[in-house]
Structure 1
Amino acid sequence: MMTTTRSGPYICGLDAAMDVVSGKWKSLILWELHDHGARRFGELRRGLPGVSEKMLIQQLREMEQDGLINREAFREVPPRVEYSLTEHGRALNEALRPLGAWGTQRRDRLTRRQPGTA
């Protein structure tokens, strides 16, 4: 199995954790799989408006390599592949829950913030 290139060595655990969820889509993929359970690629793509096919494929591969998601290919015609959270993915999702709550409480303020203002 290929390994994902990381920016380590890490200064602390938060540094390592942020490296694993870096990028716009990984945390959203975690939430989507948490909210809906196992999903096929097309279902994930529909649940994440704005993500390109290339980016979703890349993010899913990295998350699989990091042990956050399972990729299960079914021997059917037509072929079917489903993605689901691993135990590590569920634990990371729980760890991100307070950060999501923080963002929800401040969403209006962050949305109103204009470029160039403090």
Structure 2
Amino acid sequence: MSTESQALLRRDCPGRVLLDHITGKWGILVLTSLTEGPLRFHQLRAGIEGVSDKMLTQTLRTFASDGLVERTVLPTAPPSVVYELTELGAEAARELEPFLRWVRATASAGVAVRV
């Protein structure tokens, strides 16, 4: 195991906080959704089946605090808000893509997945 991986096993590793945010129930799905470009809240909610307003709001706020997502208020009446990946968020999404390919391939290969 690499030294970087070993560091994540330690309770006081700051990387564990970011890992928790990204790999939470909705984190990967939000990052993946935003890879297509900026989206408004309702577009994100419609695209991620099953996410509640509360959890989507919480995930977006956390990602904005982490520097993964940028929230922009547009000067419209009423004001519109769009969310988009920052460079750091886009990098995280690119790094997740091989894992997501594996998940899709494994699930479609008929591996027993409990729903």
When normalised by structure 2's length, the TM-score is 0.80
Q: Measure the CA separation in 2 of the matches of 1:9 and 1:70.
A: 27
The answer to whether the aligner puts 1:20 opposite 2:24 as a matched pair is no
Runs of 4+ in 1 over 6 A off after TM superposition: none
Q: Is the 8 A contact 2:18 2:66 kept in 1?
A: no
When residues 46 and 71 of structure 1 are mapped into structure 2, their CA distance, relative to the original with a 3 A threshold, is same
Matches within 5 A, 1:86-105: 86-105=86-105
Cα-Cα RMSD: 2.3
| 1:52-75 per-position Cα deviation (integer Å, ceiling 9, x unaligned) | 001100000000000000000012
**Amino acid of the residue matched to residue 19 of structure 1?**
D
Distance change (3 Å), C-alpha of 1:113 and 1:90: closer
Give the secondary structure class of the aligned counterpart of 1:21: helix
Counterpart for residue 71 of structure 2: 71
Structure 1 Cα separation of the partners of residues 114 and 50 of structure 2: 23
Instruction: Write the letter of the residue equivalent to 1:25.
Output: W
Contact 2:68/2:86 (<8 A) preserved: yes
- Please identify which structure carries the higher helix content: 2
Cα drift, residue 98 of structure 1: 1.1
Between the aligned residues of both structures, percent identity stands at: 36
Q: Which amino acid aligns with 2:19?
A: M
Aligned residues: 105
TM-score, with structure 1 as normaliser = 0.78
- 1:4-27: CA deviations, max 9, x gaps? xxx95129x6x4652231311111
